Amino acid sequence: MAKDIGIDLGTANVLIYVVGKGIVLNEPSVVAIDTKTDKVLAVGSEAYRMVGRTPGNIRAIRPLKDGVISDFDITEAMLSYFINKLSVKGFLSKPNIMICAPTNITEIERKAIIQAAEKSGGAKVYLEEEPKVAALGAGMDIFKPSGNMVIDMGGGTSDIAILSLGDIVSSRSIRVAGDRMNTEIVNYLKHKHNLIVGERTAETIKIKIGTAYPEPGNEKKTMAVRGRDSVSGMPTEVTITAAEVEEAIHDSVDQIIAAAMAVLETTPPELAADIIDRGIMLTGGGALLDGIDKLFSEKLTVPVIISEDPLDNVAKGAGVLLEHMNTKVAKQNN
């Protein structure tokens, strides 16, 4: 028998949940291609190590941009590779697949995701909205008639939603998240320090000393960053502070807060009262940014909680939903 799988098809990482086993795969959404032959050379972690370090004929491609498929064939190749690696297919059967997507994708983008999953070996493919699945994975009971709010900050998109009775009441998805913050760090270093660095270095800076909350002492947290001097073209090293990283990503964080405010403003009063009681759940990689809960709580005047495993919530939630559906089907058949 094929085992059903839930996939968090993220801009930065792909996570796969196998029913009965939990999360069995977590790899970067990167594929290395030989441009001369169009052959796939490496997928996932192996391909990620090549980002920014490849010779001319090898390209490390991220087939997803802002939470949606930007290169269909490569997404399909990547999904097929991961699914085959897990050996979840039965002798004659294929697994059912649940894939999670941002809330505001177009019909064409929806079809592209479903098609890629079907071609990579899925029997039935279900598409679910990311914030709903993330809330489930974070342990929220979204099936009751009470308001739950979740902010899921991934690599490509930040999805904000208010849920009640198992569905989304009000939501927003903006293409401002981890990747945008990396770009802002790259630009900041170039303008402020004449230092040219790649996306991977920016990501490392964000993880090591990144902060969203301006507080005293941030200028004392420092990190030595190596790159190329934009004037002389020579390799060089610059020391930057956490306060500078906060300044660099300030705009992105502000846009996410503005989107959360817009969602709260359209919420029915009864649900808004529930959210004041329960708080807002932060999930996704962005939830790991130092001080983000403090800042959101201050700006939105509501308690903010960071979920236990923010990076795993969407994949876990997809698994919970699949199990929920399987139980329902089993009950109907008895």
266 is in an annotated binding site: no
301 labeled part of a ligand binding site: no
3-state SS, residue 169: strand
Residue 318 near residue 3, CB atoms below 8 Å: no
Can you tell me the distance from the alpha carbon of 48 to that of 265, in angstroms, rounded to the nearest whole number?
Answer: 40
Q: Which residue has the tokens 């001080």?
A: 291
**Gyration radius (Cα) of the chain, Å:** 21
138 is known to lie in a ligand binding site: no
Q: Has 285 been labeled as part of a binding site?
A: yes
Residue 203 annotated as lining a ligand binding site:
yes
47 assigned ligand-binding residue? no
206 labeled binding residue? yes
Residue 12 labelled as part of a binding site: yes
Question: Which amino acid does the sequence have at 44?
Answer: G
The answer on whether 286 is annotated among ligand-binding residues is yes
Is 279 assigned a ligand-binding role in the annotation? no
Establish whether 205 is an annotated binding residue.
Answer: yes
Does an H or E element contain 332, and which?
A: helix 313-333
**155 annotated to bind ligand:** yes
- Binding-site sequence positions for ATP: 11-13, 155-157, 203-206, 285-288
- Binding-site sequence positions: 11-13, 155-157, 203-206, 285-288
